[in-house]
Amino acid sequence: CKFFSLTETPEDYTIIVDEEGFLELPSSEHLSVADATWLALNVVSGGGSFSRPPIGVTKIAKSVIAPLADQNISVFMLSTYQTDFILVRKRDLPFVTHTLSSEFTILRSVARLW
């Protein structure tokens, strides 16, 4: 499993895993699975290099999420200390890449999340 996130709230737990991690999960009547496959977009400032200082999660999130919201595309934001991910439904990927391609460099990498 190369992508794993666990969030605990007072109401429940949320586990986000790649396909390999999903297949490793034991079946359980207490485990519910989202009805859509989500893809993670890795958001990197400065074109993926460290030549420019990072612009911060707030500006990154706004610059990516705002155009998607304008097109009524649902997203799920997941941030870590070092990286920001914007998860989009697989079925929306063509609309996402079209919407963001005028402002961002789109690099392809395959990692389906469940």
Please give the average per-residue pLDDT across 90-107, as a whole number. 87
Helical (H) or strand (E) element with 75:
strand 75-79
Confidence band for 34, pLDDT divided at 50, 70 and 90: confident
- 9-19 tens-digit pLDDT: 999 998 898 88
Whether the predicted pLDDT of 110 surpasses 60 = no
- Our CA angle for 63, 13, 33, nearest 5°, is 80
Share the mean pLDDT of the chain: 81
Give start and end residues of each alpha helix (H) in 1-114. 19-24, 57-70, 93-100
Chain CA centroid to CA 114, Å: 11
Are the C-beta atoms of residues 55 and 64 closer than 8 Å to each other?
Answer: no
Residue range 4-113, CATH number: 3.30.2130.10
- Sequence-separated (6 or more) residues with CB below 8 Å from residue 33: 22, 114
In this predicted structure, what is the pLDDT of residue 50? 47
More confidently predicted of 70 and 28: 70
Whether the predicted pLDDT of 91 surpasses 90 = yes
Are the C-beta atoms of residues 25 and 114 closer than 8 Å to each other?
Answer: no
The number of C-alpha atoms within 13 Å of 31 and in the hemisphere containing its C-beta is 9
In this predicted structure, what is the pLDDT of residue 111? 53
* Domains in the chain: boundaries: 4-113
- % of the chain with per-residue pLDDT over 70: 81
> What is the maximum alpha-carbon separation in the chain?
49
